[in-house]
Structure 1
Amino acid sequence: MTQQGVRWTADQVLALAPDSTSRRAGSRLGTADPWSGTGSSREGMVWGLCEGSGGLPYRTVVDTAGGTGPAYRCSCPSRRFPCKHALGLLLLWSGGEGSTPAGRAPDWAEQWIAGRRRTQEEREAGAGSASGPADPEGARRRAERRAERITSGATELEERLADLLRSGLVTAERSGYGLWEETAARMVDAQAPGLAARVRELASVPASGPGWPVRLLEECALLHLLDQGWMHRERLPDALAATVRARVGLPSSPVGPPVRDRWLVLAQYDVSDPKLTTRRIWLYGTTSGRSALLLSYGAAGRAPELTLPVGLALDAELSAHAGAGQQRASLGEQFAPPAPTGTRPPGMTTTEATSRYGESLCHDPWQDFVPVTLNAVIPTPDGASWQLVDADGDTALPLTPTAVSRPGLWRLIALSGGAPVRVFGECGHRGFTPLTAWPAGEGEAVRLC
């Protein structure tokens, strides 16, 4: 970090792990035994030599003050970023100055840092000199052709939804997954990945438990609404039209002036499929009171580049994307590396949380959840599931099935011990998914995902 003695906690370090295997392996290397030649600098560098299976130790260096989060370099052959050695080194560093004393970095670490920061400067200079598309007329024609393909795909999807309703929802159970996958593939061909994703969600509804026909009808209605929104987008208000474009799958860009704030990193987690890993990072502006979502992507098998440890605060500029009710933003200039903070986001009751989600649907009917912080809740069993009960009231929020199946639930229960805790998460029509929690009184943020 920029100030000597300001170090991350072990939980913040482990939040960087690309998967549970790396998390466990990195934890085993977080002691001084396998390390030699360790050190750190005021500029945010941490380095060390780790014993490995070969004759030479692995050279590991981390730049904690990287422009888009920490950056890593290790001589091991691992394809994971960060690798277990980088995680172990950061865990050692988080334990105190004695384990990685301040000093001058060795030449091999200095060379990598110098080269990396030189590349960053060149990239920023190139971005600053960019003057937009070299061929604006060509870009306009390509956008028009894509819009025509999406319209064709949406029209075909409307016909398939009408066929389903005419034949009866029960036929969806007999048709199996193949019909939906074929339809989704047609939407991909139409360059409408957002429509394709929602079609694939339909495939998981039939025979998914009691009441599935009702859920299928609801999802079909939302998909029909999105189709109609796209085909009549010129009649919509600008903000809602931008939301429809984003939901269909068109890329969005930041609009308006950037907002500088001290952004609290509330949560970070990855969503993976065979082709892409999407990292979602929730931020809260301590001055503006805004919530913002950063998205970062990595090819299959590789972690996204952007990493911001949970519980830290970032002095930076964010630019919001267009759209009604949209909270996505792009990270702009950073004025200091992420630093520990005792600030917590303000909380609300479970009733206020559900009201906020309901209000958000007025602006974006396809929104699955909104970010909320519950002020003082107690995790309580509810039959075979769990719920979060207001400590000062008699209302509660059920946890989503996904949250109940995660190990983070037991971490939350242990943190609470029957006492109220503050919990940040995503509140939607399926319930509440806790992502981060703070104990009553003083205490560091605890990552739950």
Structure 2
Amino acid sequence: MTQQGERWTTDQVLALAPDAASRKAGSKLGGAGPWSGVGSSDEGTVWGLCKGSGSKPYQTVVDVAGESGPAYRCGCPSRKFPCKHAIGLLLLWAGGDGAVPPGQAPDWAEQWIAGRRERAEEKRTAQSSGSPAGPGESEAARRRAEQRAERITGGATELEQRLTDLLRGGLAGAERAGYGLWEETAARMVDAQAPGLASRVRELGAVPSSGPGWPVRLLEECALLHLLDQGWLRRERLPEGLAATVRSRVGLPASAAGPPVRDHWLVLAQYDTVDARLTTRRIWLYGAETHRAALLLSYGAAGRAPEPALPVGLALEAEVSAYPGTGQQRAALGRQFAPPAPAEIRPRGVTTSQAAARYGDALRGDPWLESVPVTLERVVPVPDGDSWQLADADGDTALPLTPAAGNRPGLWRLVALSGGAPLTVFGECGHRGFTPLTAWPSGPGPAVPLH
């Protein structure tokens, strides 16, 4: 249960906002002025009425203890989740000054919460008692899988020929051909039902215009794409774990088939990446007992924030199940035994040299891996010419920050938090360097999101 003392911090609430405009608008509603009829329950429900432009106030309710993270309902017409009213209500609740007293939820809030929890229970029951597919359904599914595999094989074979033609003609031809050649090839991979191959082909198209040294980068990416092609064409000869990784990389769907692991999971980081069609949310978790990392991936259509939303610094007792594949850390969030609540847990840390070695070890199981989750212990941010690096406070090694990390406001938050003193920093370590996502001060203090 979410007891009244276990309120979130302001930063944890603002981390839920889908964009900067929502954070700003929600902050303006974080005082008691526009609110009436507010209250909260030990079960993790917060509700209130917010005065708006109409004659009736907006009915706003938040289920902080939602099965897959916080859930929201508001009478306003906003298409953002959470809307500014939900953010404002949570900010009022997070203040902890008695502005949101405990009480009995009104009927309109109780009905919504009861409906949500009833549907969650029905889903759990259906999952636990689901009947296996009949022989006819299994056979049809097998034929569809075989047909798709044949199409992917045709696409991979065609892609191998195109890569061969590119290398025979010289990499300079890629710059003259322009992006159209790559887009056409990517379209062919989509037709072959291999979205993973299509995505990597589109990335190749951007390399020739990426600045000095692009031929080397293009050759490296072509080699990785060739390796993935060959992995698919020879997948029967691969160990099962690596074969599962190849299937995932070419774009075949998979389900979280690993056994559920119950732990107290600390939310290490949450961030979204947006393109024209899709918003991808990544949430990193850390198991306090198992000391393992797990990645939750979710997607939302353009302009819509994905779910769940789990603010950094919270911990939840829950089960997670791993997806198949060697070196894969993606997992699915399963049953929760307690709602998310602030925690003092910190992940175990390593040195910068150990972090680099960890990434190297991970590449043996997944050669296409961009980065691995790593917590660095006792590091100090220091300038390195035009860029920055994290240096071991007790050694003589360092990790460079990725170019993208050096241009984010989070870098200055990291430098200010350090003030020259060692920090604990969680982030992603890969061949381009280290991307810091969350930091903790050397002494007591909450997690500080950097993304």
Q: TM-score range by the shorter chain?
A: over 0.9
Q: CA deviation at 1:139?
A: 0.5
Find out whether 1:237 has 2:218 as its counterpart: no
Aligned equivalent of 2:416 = 414
Aligned equivalent of 1:444 = 446
In 2, Cα distance between the equivalents of 1:317 and 1:168? Answer: 51
Aligned equivalent of 1:322 = 324
Of the structure 1 ranges 432-441 and 111-120, higher mean CA displacement relative to structure 2 is found in 111-120
Of the structure 1 ranges 120-129 and 310-319, higher mean CA displacement relative to structure 2 is found in 120-129
Q: CA deviation at 1:199?
A: 0.9
Q: CA deviation at 1:430?
A: 0.7
Aligned equivalent of 2:200 = 198
In 2, Cα distance between the equivalents of 1:139 and 1:28? Answer: 53
Q: 1:385 aligns with which of 384, 387, 390?
A: 387
Of the structure 1 ranges 39-48 and 393-402, higher mean CA displacement relative to structure 2 is found in 393-402
Q: Once the two structures are superposed, what CA deviation does each residue of 1:148-178 show, in whole Å capped at 9, x if it has no partner?
A: 1111111111111111101111111112212
Q: Once the two structures are superposed, what CA deviation does each residue of 1:335-360 show, in whole Å capped at 9, x if it has no partner?
A: 11112111100111111111110111
> Which letter does structure 1 place at the counterpart of 2:333?
L
CA contact (8 A) 1:265 1:311 kept: yes
In 2, Cα distance between the equivalents of 1:16 and 1:185? Answer: 36
Gaps of 5+ in 1: none
In 2, Cα distance between the equivalents of 1:24 and 1:394? Answer: 42
Aligned equivalent of 1:395 = 397
Aligned equivalent of 1:54 = 54
> Which letter does structure 2 place at the counterpart of 1:230?
W
Q: CA deviation at 1:413?
A: 1.5
Q: CA deviation at 1:291?
A: 1.0
CA contact (8 A) 1:263 1:314 kept: yes
Aligned equivalent of 2:94 = 94
In 1, Cα distance between the equivalents of 2:80 and 2:145? Answer: 36
> Which letter does structure 1 place at the counterpart of 2:288?
T
Aligned equivalent of 2:227 = 225
Aligned equivalent of 2:184 = 182
Q: Once the two structures are superposed, what CA deviation does each residue of 1:117-164 show, in whole Å capped at 9, x if it has no partner?
A: 122222222233322445010000000011011111111111111111
Aligned equivalent of 2:336 = 334
> Which letter does structure 2 place at the counterpart of 1:381?
P
Q: Once the two structures are superposed, what CA deviation does each residue of 1:104-124 show, in whole Å capped at 9, x if it has no partner?
A: 112211121112212222222
Gaps of 5+ in 2: none
Q: TM-score, normalised by structure 2?
A: 0.97
Q: CA deviation at 1:277?
A: 1.7
Aligned equivalent of 1:127 = 127
In 2, Cα distance between the equivalents of 1:287 and 1:295? Answer: 22
Q: CA deviation at 1:97?
A: 4.8
Q: TM-score, normalised by structure 1?
A: 0.97
> Which letter does structure 1 place at the counterpart of 2:122?
E
Aligned equivalent of 1:258 = 260
> Which letter does structure 2 place at the counterpart of 1:349?
T
Q: Once the two structures are superposed, what CA deviation does each residue of 1:249-297 show, in whole Å capped at 9, x if it has no partner?
A: 1112223421111111111111222222221111111111111111112
Aligned equivalent of 1:29 = 29
Q: Once the two structures are superposed, what CA deviation does each residue of 1:46-71 show, in whole Å capped at 9, x if it has no partner?
A: 01111212222211110001000000
Partner secondary structure for residue 298 of structure 1: strand
In 2, Cα distance between the equivalents of 1:57 and 1:425? Answer: 42
In 1, Cα distance between the equivalents of 2:334 and 2:84? Answer: 29
In 1, Cα distance between the equivalents of 2:16 and 2:370? Answer: 26
Q: CA deviation at 1:208?
A: 1.3
Q: 2:175 aligns with which of 173, 176, 191?
A: 173
> Which letter does structure 2 place at the counterpart of 1:114?
A
Q: How many pairs are equivalent?
A: 449
In 2, Cα distance between the equivalents of 1:358 and 1:115? Answer: 48
In 1, Cα distance between the equivalents of 2:53 and 2:387? Answer: 45
Of the structure 1 ranges 370-379 and 227-236, higher mean CA displacement relative to structure 2 is found in 370-379
CA contact (8 A) 1:403 1:433 kept: yes
Q: 2:275 aligns with which of 262, 266, 273?
A: 273
Of the structure 1 ranges 196-205 and 69-78, higher mean CA displacement relative to structure 2 is found in 196-205
In 2, Cα distance between the equivalents of 1:176 and 1:387? Answer: 35
Partner secondary structure for residue 304 of structure 1: coil
**Which aligned pairs between 1:421-440 and structure 2 lie closer than 5 A?**
421-440=423-442
> Which letter does structure 2 place at the counterpart of 1:107?
D
CA contact (8 A) 1:133 1:139 kept: no
Aligned equivalent of 1:247 = 249
> Which letter does structure 1 place at the counterpart of 2:88?
G
Q: Once the two structures are superposed, what CA deviation does each residue of 1:315-347 show, in whole Å capped at 9, x if it has no partner?
A: 111111111111111111111111211110011
CA contact (8 A) 1:5 1:97 kept: no
In 1, Cα distance between the equivalents of 2:381 and 2:56? Answer: 49
CA contact (8 A) 1:345 1:373 kept: yes
Partner secondary structure for residue 208 of structure 2: coil
In 1, Cα distance between the equivalents of 2:347 and 2:401? Answer: 21
Q: Once the two structures are superposed, what CA deviation does each residue of 1:286-317 show, in whole Å capped at 9, x if it has no partner?
A: 11111111111222221112122211111111
> Which letter does structure 2 place at the counterpart of 1:399?
L
Aligned equivalent of 1:210 = 212
> Which letter does structure 1 place at the counterpart of 2:352?
T
Identity %: 74
Q: CA deviation at 1:374?
A: 0.6
In 1, Cα distance between the equivalents of 2:414 and 2:407? Answer: 13
Partner secondary structure for residue 263 of structure 1: strand
Q: 2:148 aligns with which of 137, 146, 149?
A: 146
> Which letter does structure 2 place at the counterpart of 1:257?
P
